[in-house]
Amino acid sequence: MADDSLASHRRDPIKSSVGNVAAQRRRQNAATVGKERRESLVRAKRLCRVGATGEGDVLVEENHMMTDEEGFLLEDQTSSAVKELKSAVVYQGKGAMQKRVNALRELRRLLSKSEFPPVEAALKAGAIPLLVQCLSFGSPDEQLLEAAWCLTNIAAGKPEETKALLPALPLLIAHLGEKSSLPVAEQCAWALGNVAGEGEELRKVLLSQGALPPLARMVLPNKGSTVRTAAWALSNLIKGPDPKAATELIKVDGVLDAILRHLRKSDEELATEVAWVVVYLSALSNFATGVLVKSDALQPLVERLATSNSLQLLIPVLRSLGNLVAGDSHTTSTVLIPGHEITDGVIKVLVKCLKSDHRVLKKEASWVLSNIAAGSIEHKQLIYSSEAVPLLLRLLSTAPFDIRKEVAYVLGNLCVAPATGEGKPDLIKENLVSLVQRGCLSGFIDLVRSADIEAARLGLQFTELVLRGMPNGDGPKLVEQEDGIDAMERYQFHENEDLRNMANGLVDKYFGEDYGVNE
């Protein structure tokens, strides 16, 4: 029996007598591959399928789900390739260099074939020490390139695999230097970008080994794929949460200039990666934010938002703008002065984002508007009289939840005067009355009914504004019409004490004994 099934297994795996088991394993595999695939798509690491000089397997199939057999085969080949590399590294005779390059190339091809390269097999066979040896100073460019490429893909997957690159890091960093050929420097930057994308620990190691200055210098030229890869690697390197790297980066000679230049003039792909660098600079480092704002970084950001339609570019540019507005009160008070051209420009591009089809743009644009609306009375009036309000009102009733929350912040901020630090903030009655007349109350009552604490809080806070601020005591009537009392009474048996108290307080105060008696 056992022999039989073994034989049939070798002959025709799919139709073997253990076919059901194999099918089940494939299904299980599919589920794990599904999960693996999801994780790999979401990572901040990137596989290198096509080399810096344009070579690579053209016949690579995307979405090809390997059968078990193919997987085993690939693993076998990889182990052999590493063995081959080992002997090539040891060999000192004639044609040694070519032998090494060929072995490296073979390994590189195996590691670039599929979405899930056989990294585990390569590591198990001892690839890392060999690859480190191949990175030694004085090695020919081709050898350096292939070795760095292998390391790039080994580092593109699971955390343990990326961490395995530790011994190689100093050499990879060294080859970023200006003496290296561009393709070599780029491939090393790519590998380091993957390592930095793994997590805080590895970022710390890279920074302590001096990875930042040479990478920073690589973004100074005007163009080239090297600049783009280096920018991407930098965005991974400085993403924190420690703000030190971000602050250091902006201080490197020529970097600020290069960033602004790329934002202004470079092609969209390069501008995208640079914009992500700006995202992290502005989110983490107050110093960098200040420098960027003073150097008029807002202008090219607004320009890109106005002219580009590439979602890939718009996301980081919008977010950079958002971070600069959120991170520094000077942005709103000294740059975005109402009446200035730049301010009108900002409002316009934010409106453009509100009109877009993309969820992220609508949500983050609303966030930026809410921060501008948190400025002076003039800022509020500027937004209030713009195209933004009708769009926001529509979004409040129709958009997905996360967008509605941000929109709520904008509208509420338009109705409340800047905080003075003492007591209840004043209402801006005209805005409140007008927005309520245009039908925003039901959207806020919907938020009161939400299971999200923050949203419910916003809804209740706005309801309080209406109850307090609508003239002629109209507030309670209007709230009742929108089933607001019902929504608030739900909090009777809600587990959150703050919300319960808020809701109870409002109902007690505005819908007490005397409500509706003399009608």
- Among residues 284, 201, 205, 276, the alpha carbon closest in space to that of 236 is found at 276
198 binds other proteins (CB under 8 A): no
Q: Which residue lies nearer to other proteins by CB, 130 or 466?
A: 466
Give the residue carrying structure tokens 């150097």.
Answer: 295
Residues of span 251-280 touching other proteins by CB under 8 A: 276, 279-280
Structure tokens at 315: 């996301």
Q: Which residues contact 17 (CB under 8 A, 6 or more apart)?
A: 4, 5, 8
- Which residue from 143, 343, 371, 431 is in contact with other proteins, where contact means CB under 8 A? 371
x-marked contacts with other proteins along 383-422 as a string, rule CB under 8 A: ------------------xx------x--xx-xxxxx---
First-to-last CA distance in the chain? 91
* Contact residues for 143 (Cβ-Cβ < 8 A; gap 6+): 97, 100, 101, 104, 134
Q: Is 457 in the site for other proteins (CB under 8 A)?
A: yes
Least distance from C-beta 454 to other proteins, angstroms?
A: 8
Q: Does 319 bind other proteins (CB under 8 A)?
A: yes
- Shortest Å distance, C-beta 493 to other proteins: 5
How many Cα neighbours within 13 Å face the side chain of 298?
29
The token pair that represents 309 in the structure block: 């339609």
Q: Which of residues 51-90 bind other proteins (CB under 8 A)?
A: 62-63
Residue 56, CB half-sphere, CA atoms under 13 Å: how many?
A: 18
Length of the chain: 519
- Do 489 and 447 touch, CB atoms closer than 8 A? no
DSSP annotation string for 68-87: HHHHHHHHHHHHHHHHHHHH
Given 18, 33, 44, 123, the residue binding other proteins (CB under 8 A): 44
- Closest distance of CB 245 from other proteins, Å: 12
Interface with other proteins in residues 482-501 (CB under 8 A):
485-486, 489-490, 492-498, 500-501
Binding positions for other proteins, 322-341, rule CB under 8 A: 323, 325-327, 329, 332
The smaller minimum CB distance to other proteins, of residues 244 and 457, is found at: 457
* By CB under 8 A, residue 434 contacts other proteins: no
Does the footprint of other proteins cover residue 203 (CB under 8 A)?
no
Number of neighbouring beta carbons within 10 Å of residue 267? 11
**75 vs 269, which CB is nearer to other proteins?**
269
Of 288-317, binders to other proteins (CB under 8 A) are 311-312, 315-316
Cβ proximity to other proteins, 131 vs 436, nearer residue: 436
- What does the longest C-alpha to C-alpha distance in the chain come to? 107
